[in-house]
Amino acid sequence: MRVVHNTGMVTKHKHFPAPIARQHQGVGRPGLQHSSTELMPGDVALGLAGDSLRTLLGSCVSVILTDPRRTVGAMCHIVHVGSPNAANRHNTAYGEVAMQEMFQRLQGVGILAQRCQAFVYGGGNMFPGIASGPQVGDRNAQWVWDFLHDHGIAVVDYSLGGTSYRKVSWTVGTSEPSVENVSIEQGGFQ
């Protein structure tokens, strides 16, 4: 099945439904500290209302899980699909480990992941025309899609596939993350 998201990015899917990230402390409302976290590949982060989470994606996929009231949010930056071998069993660059880490962090603040809503971004083909067959980004996106479906987590927004980087940023408590497509030539956070 081919699905086109409103950004024009395309992905294929069957179903619809760590290292410590760098944190920067900033002042939000008077007297209240909010953190700003930039996730690098393999990072997992948890934020409370007012905290900012952001990452830059190519073929990797980011999942944001939040409770329906948007009081808590968790984000991961998945590099590899599935489960790692025994030597990497705690490496959150792997999808299975990253998602379980997010589930544990959410549970630690009283939120069940299965009651969360998901936002899914990334899975781009960063080397178009070079390789034949399934691309890394397609495999990453499909694995995440299937994982969320298998765990009964509703996907409320997504932008997958295509040939651009994506800058994803979200302040916990706002309605939806901001996703900016950036050409391969531009790349990176400015």
Tracing tokens 């050409």 back to the chain, one arrives at 183
Whether the pLDDT of residue 88 is over 90: the answer is no
CA distance linking residue 63 with residue 48, whole number of Å:
16
Burial class (CB in 10 A: 0-12, 13-18, 19+), 118: buried
Q: Would you say residue 166 lies in a domain?
A: yes
What was the pLDDT predicted at 70? Answer: 86
Q: Would you say residue 187 lies in a domain?
A: no
What was the pLDDT predicted at 19? Answer: 35
What was the pLDDT predicted at 130? Answer: 79
Q: Would you say residue 188 lies in a domain?
A: no
* 21-61 confidence digits (pLDDT tens): 444 443 334 456 788 999 999 999 999 999 999 999 999 99
Looking only at the bridges linking them, the beta strands covering 117-122 and 154-160 are parallel
Tracing tokens 């998901």 back to the chain, one arrives at 118
Q: Would you say residue 189 lies in a domain?
A: no
Q: What is the arithmetic mean of pLDDT over 166-183?
A: 91
Q: How confident is the model at residue 187 (pLDDT cuts 50, 70, 90)?
A: low
**Joined tokens for residue 5:** 């998201």
Name every residue whose Cβ is closer than 8 Å to that of residue 92 and which is 6 or more positions away in sequence: 18, 19, 42, 43, 44, 76, 98, 101
CA distance linking residue 54 with residue 142, whole number of Å:
22
The parent domain of residue 101 ranges over: 2-182
**Joined tokens for residue 94:** 């792997």
* 131-153 confidence digits (pLDDT tens): 677 789 999 999 999 999 999 99
What was the pLDDT predicted at 89? Answer: 87
Q: Would you say residue 190 lies in a domain?
A: no
Among 58, 35, 174, 64, residue whose Cα is nearest residue 127: 58
Q: Would you say residue 68 lies in a domain?
A: yes
CATH of the domain at 121: 3.30.1330.200
Q: How confident is the model at residue 95 (pLDDT cuts 50, 70, 90)?
A: very high
What was the pLDDT predicted at 57? Answer: 96
**Domain total for the chain?**
1
**Joined tokens for residue 71:** 């009081």
Which amino acid belongs to residue 70?
Answer: R
